[in-house]
Structure 1
Amino acid sequence: MSEQAPIVIIGAGLSGIMAALTLKEKGCQNIILVEKSRSVGGRMATRRIEKGKVDHGAQFFTVRTKKFQAFVDEWLEKGSVKHWFGNDYQRYMSVDGMNAFAKKLAEDISVRLQTRITVIKKNATGYTLTTGEGETIDARAVIVTAPAPQAKTLLENNDLQVDAKVLQKLDAIVFQPCFVGLFHLQQPTNLPNNGHLDSELPDGVLRIVDHEKKGISEMPTISVYMTGDWSKAHDDRSDEAILEKIKQVTNAYLDVDSVISSQLKKWRYAEAVQFLREPFLNTNLEHPLLVAGDAFLHPQDIANRTRLESAFISGVTVGEELEILLK
């Protein structure tokens, strides 16, 4: 099977979604967003547990730039997001879970889910992308928004001959993992009324979130985020052992006897602790092939950390650049 598509974006997290929306706004209509998972959104992830919900990736987003604020104001007006907590520095949340918001953003984009791109090769008019199932997609331009280690694997094949300096920049991006315990409880928690706690926690615990108090779950469902160091130190354990350890270290906040069910989510590329001060990378090949994502920070970014806003800015900026290159 061969499918013709002028522009292919690999990865349907916020960077990929915003790159596609930016290109569409500028008149590019034939765009395919390719995602290996079952849903768009990347770390804008929500899971159902019986009648409850848990956000188990990004819990909220903040705003530091005028460009992002303009979009957030529009989302607020439409009722897609709302202020969650923080009066001096506002945190915003999706009203129905972070993944529902990602799906809303991507609803007018052509998306192929559960499709993993394994090889990118040159052809006469651009690139041929091969999926894990052996299908091919031809594109005259490609944007890769997968995490840097995965992007590097795609770009370092001999057929593309990407400059070593580009690969070195990707290699310089270093991610920390994050293990998240998801718990369904019989009884309400003693967490703050807004459902969020990220201070004075036991060693190894990054944050705890009660989604019933957050307002997206009909029953007590809890996400417990472990630090990168803790997650790396426990990587060789089984999921069951990791969940038991999480319950032990958070027993002051979670009634273990109240736990009905538990699940573990392992984010291998949760946060870039070493990132680039460039909003995207251009491979400078004959046909456009660019790399973007939340680990590609704008030089004027004052936050010095990866987050949803950095993913947004990178996606918009790489979309703007590709539209120029295609003229």
Structure 2
Amino acid sequence: MDPRSEVLLRQAELFSDKVLLAGLPADDLLGQLPQAHGWSWHAGEQARLDLRFAGRCQFGVTPPAADFSAAVLFLPKSRELTDYLLTALAARLPGAELFLVGEKRAGIERAAKQLQPFGKPRKLDSARHCQLWQVHIEQAPATPDLEALAKHYQLPLADGPLQVVSLPGVFSHGRLDRGTALLLEHLDGLPSGHLLDFGCGAGVLGAVLKRRYPASRVTLLDVDAFAAASSRLTLVANGLEAEVLNGDGIDAAPVGLSAIVSNPPFHEGVHTHYLASEQLLRQANRHLQAGGELRLVANSFLKYPPLIEEHLGACQTLAAGNGFRIYRARRKA
């Protein structure tokens, strides 16, 4: 059981009615709170919850339409995303209770101050290195317009400017990260066919691929619903059409790909996770057609070349700079 869930269950009497659990972990919390429902924006956690509690958790970037008597937000990493989620929940709960739970090292005490626009926050519990806060919604806000919270920026590229639309919580929100900037300089010569942007974020790579290789089918894939929504907005802003999917890792990708291009994720919340990236390297050959190519950017300290050579083929370093390296490997014919 996630320690944040354990803290909630210490106060289980507060959550015995139709409470909404926003950003909940994929543990047994719904089993312990039979009247509760979930709202997730992480495709992997959603899939695991669906297996155990079918129909009790909604996936997406907006709260479920059903009525609920209270809500609990499991603190996300991003302050901007926390603002949006708290406002979206508080708008649905005039005169009711909104709770915030999170780990101390994730900044729960600082985040609790974000409850102040809605009422007077109070700390209910502190255990398992977590805290639980509560606010009675005295001033319910208007329902937030998520798209109005997007950050827009423009990339000056050789074939013309690219418009990027970034929603709260998306990787490198409102700016181009250094790894992707380096990879953008090394996208020439990809095999034609079906191209995948794995871990698409705001859709920068996928949009550039579609514009540079217009005859190719392009798919963008991310585990996060806010990333997928951002990618769709970026594509629309540039007059491009591509497929955008939510899924948990490379297993959710199509097969028969001519190329996989990625700035793969290895950070999630306050913890560091390499599983999604390492699974990409281990399983890419199952999704690439014969002669298909994997091209990615990674921090220089990550020991990816041995994994790539073990599971795919000879690994070539195309470029290095600013602490990053561009790797290329092809599946054997």
TM-score by shorter chain over 0.5? no
Which structure has the highest helix share of the two? 2
- Normalising by the residue count of structure 1, what TM-score does the alignment of the two structures yield? 0.24
Choose 1 or 2 for highest CA Rg.
Answer: 2
